[in-house]
Each structure stands twice: as structure tokens, then as C-alpha cells.
């Protein structure tokens, strides 16, 4: 068992309609995360959510690039970019949090991907790995030091978030039953390997024990 402390954080990544079955970029079996995520949301003292928040015509959308299809890869000024179906467009139903998500104690929401010319998977940095979202400063100001990550998708936004968290010096665990992956050309297996190499702990929600009182 692993003890969850009062100043530990539950980081809930992109639990939005477009990543669920029927959405524009559905993660297979993504709806299976709702129960464990909600249960954890009621137990953690601190919780932050992220929200993909793209303007229409975002550079990561295949529709922006003539002759390109979703899941093709191109080079952009900040590096390699997988092209996605249009998803999580600002103000649309797809960008809203899934109605089955029920976490009453969310303290802040980090919106990302709103710059039309750069994608942002991570909760900490845009995909240039330099432009911060402000989350690191927020956590340090509040004295929150250990992160438990859940959400979608394990091999993209969760992966980038936890790797950046490790680079910023945080202890990090991914709750396995609280994530699901897209698995583009083996990306899910590669993601778990990268997380392990970075020192990210992999566990299940049943492995956690909470302080009483």
C-alpha cells in the first residue's frame, strides 16, 4: 500500500467529451476511467484538472494542412507533430468535461493548446518544452509536492505531463486504472517505458491508502 498525504495532488488530465466514445478523438475504453477517477477525486485533498482548449484551425489539426490526414506526422518549428482530427475546439461540446466526471474539490483548471501555432500536451509546458503553463509555480506556492496522474490519453497528454513533472523535480505516480491510451503505432507501450525510465511509479487506485480525519 502507498500512503497518500494531505499535500499530495490528483492531476486529472483532459477528461473531455471528445476523448470519450463517440468523440472526435475517442480513446478506446476511455469511459472506463470515470469510476476510479471520481473515487479518487473524493479522497484527495487537492485536485487540478487540465483542459484541451484549441482554437478552430489549430496547427495540430490535419484539416489545417492540405493533403494531410489524421495521424500523419509533420515537422513544425517546434518539432515533430502528429496531426489530429479537429477536437476540443473552444466553446464546443467536445471541449467540455465529460458529464460523468464528478470531482467537487477541483482547485484550478489549466487550459492548454490555445495558441493556434503550437500544440500543448503537457500540463506544465507547451510542446516547445519551454513555454510554461504556470502549473509549476501554482503547485510550489501551495506546497504541493507529490503528483498522482489520471486521465486521457496515457500515451500523450498524461505522458508529457508526468515526464515534465519529473523534470521539475516532483515525485510522480500514474494510476493505471485511471488512464487509457490511444496507442498510435505502439505509442502506449513506449509511453509506459518512458515513464518507468523517468522514475514514474505505476500503481492502481486500490494500492492507495488515505490519511483519516
**Residue 143 dihedral angles phi and psi, to the nearest 5°:** 70, 30
Q: How open is the CA angle 133-138-143, to the nearest 5 degrees? A: 145
pLDDT, residue 211, reads: 76
Q: CA-CA distance, 12 to 42, in Å (whole number)?
A: 13
Q: Is-contact 120 54, C-beta < 8 A? A: no
pLDDT, residue 213, reads: 53
Q: What per-residue string of b and e applies to 13-43 under the rule 16 or more CB within 10 Å gives b? A: bbbbbbbbeebbbbbeebbebbebbbebbee
pLDDT, residue 145, reads: 85
Residues tagged active-site: 14, 112, 157
Q: How open is the CA angle 129-130-132, to the nearest 5 degrees? A: 100
**Residue 159 dihedral angles phi and psi, to the nearest 5°:** -55, -55
Full set of structural domains in the chain with CATH: 2-55+88-210 (3.40.50.850)
Which residue positions in the chain have pLDDT lower than 70?
212-213
pTM more than 0.85: yes
Block residue for cell numbers 486521457 = 152
Q: CA-CA distance, 31 to 177, in Å (whole number)?
A: 11
Amino acid at each position: 500500500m502507498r500512503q497518500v498525504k494531505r499535500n499530495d495532488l490528483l492531476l486529472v488530465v483532459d477528461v473531455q467529451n471528445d476523448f470519450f466514445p463517440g468523440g472526435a478523438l475517442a480513446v478506446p475504453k476511455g469511459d472506463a476511467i470515470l469510476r476510479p477517477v471520481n473515487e479518487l477525486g473524493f479522497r484527495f485533498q487537492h485536485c487540478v484538472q487540465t483542459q484541451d482548449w484549441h482554437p478552430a484551425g489549430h496547427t495540430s489539426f490535419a484539416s489545417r494542412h492540405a493533403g494531410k490526414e489524421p495521424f500523419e506526422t509533420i515537422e513544425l518549428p517546434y518539432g515533430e507533430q502528429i496531426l489530429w482530427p479537429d477536437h476540443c475546439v473552444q466553446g464546443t461540446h467536445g471541449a467540455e468535461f465529460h458529464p460523468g466526471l464528478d470531482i467537487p474539490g477541483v482547485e484550478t483548471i489549466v487550459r492548454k493548446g490555445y495558441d493556434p501555432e503550437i500544440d500543448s500536451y503537457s500540463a506544465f509546458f507547451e510542446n516547445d518544452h519551454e513555454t510554461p503553463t504556470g502549473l509549476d509555480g501554482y503547485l510550489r506556492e501551495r506546497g504541493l509536492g507529490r503528483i498522482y496522474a489520471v486521465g486521457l490519453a496515457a500515451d500523450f497528454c498524461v505522458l508529457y505531463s508526468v515526464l515534465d513533472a519529473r523534470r521539475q523535480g516532483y515525485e510522480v505516480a500514474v494510476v493505471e486504472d485511471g488512464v487509457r491510451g490511444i496507442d498510435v503505432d505502439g505509442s502506449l507501450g513506449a509511453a509506459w517505458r518512458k515513464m518507468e525510465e523517468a522514475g514514474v511509479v505505476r500503481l492502481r487506485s486500490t494500492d492507495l491508502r488515505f490519511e483519516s480525519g
